[in-house]
Structure 1
Amino acid sequence: MDTIIQPVARPSKRGSYRRHSDEFKRAVVAQSLLPDASVSRIARQHNLNANQVFAWRKLFGEGQQESGNNVCTLLPVTVVASVMAQPVAEQAPACGGIIELTVGKARLRLEGAVDTAVLHLVLQRLLP
């Protein structure tokens, strides 16, 4: 009777998790959203699992590629004091109120009486 002794090979430990930057993830998601794109083919090109690409699509909002124009963000609002609204023609001169608005890198601070027409124009330019 022949006895064959072979060493028992233990499966090697799986390597550490790979970390991908948000830019890389967004680029892969953008590729997967192109017309006639195959998610599995794109995943293979980047040495990823297709399920990972689908998870990133869900994470970054499927079909909502962030181009800067379509992004909707909520702005923090603080109510300082409640004031009853008066018709525009009858408003008394505004006293020392302060309005601060920060959008991206732009910061707008208004103190005292503010011309509503000018404020409207500024906000149209500042907010997309």
Structure 2
Amino acid sequence: MIISGDDPVSKGAQRFEVFTGAGKRREWPPEVKASIVAECYSGRDGVSAVARRHGLDPSQVYAWRRDLRKQLEAKGGILPSEEPEAVAFVPAVIEPSAVSGPAPTRRPRRRRCAAAAAVELEIDGVAVKIGRSADVGVIAAVIEALKATR
């Protein structure tokens, strides 16, 4: 078999790259790891959100949590419960509408759907009306904002 001198194999390396950066592997000090794991147990964000915020893979944060749990169990300590808060419903209060005078003689106009609120919340004296077209994320953000003001 004869290899001609024009092919890339016989010419040798034409180009090479030198990587001088740290690459993907990073060293995390123990206090930073503990801080990141503590964020996971704060109840505000899940592991994936915390990992994303710090540029980590969620599996790495789970491994750190597991390591911390093993260290604490060896010393006789325990981590906070990973159970989410129990969901509780707020009792609905329906106020009777005040009907005064005779019934109207003409047909009432239909109200526009956008004008009526689908959800009305009152927490610690703060009343909020959320429209029918609001998505779940908006409603959750409003409830979290109301909780934070307590």
| TM-score above 0.5, yes or no | no
User: Bigger radius of gyration, 1 or 2?
Assistant: 2
Q: TM-score, normalised by structure 1?
A: 0.37
Higher helix fraction: Structure 1 or Structure 2? 2
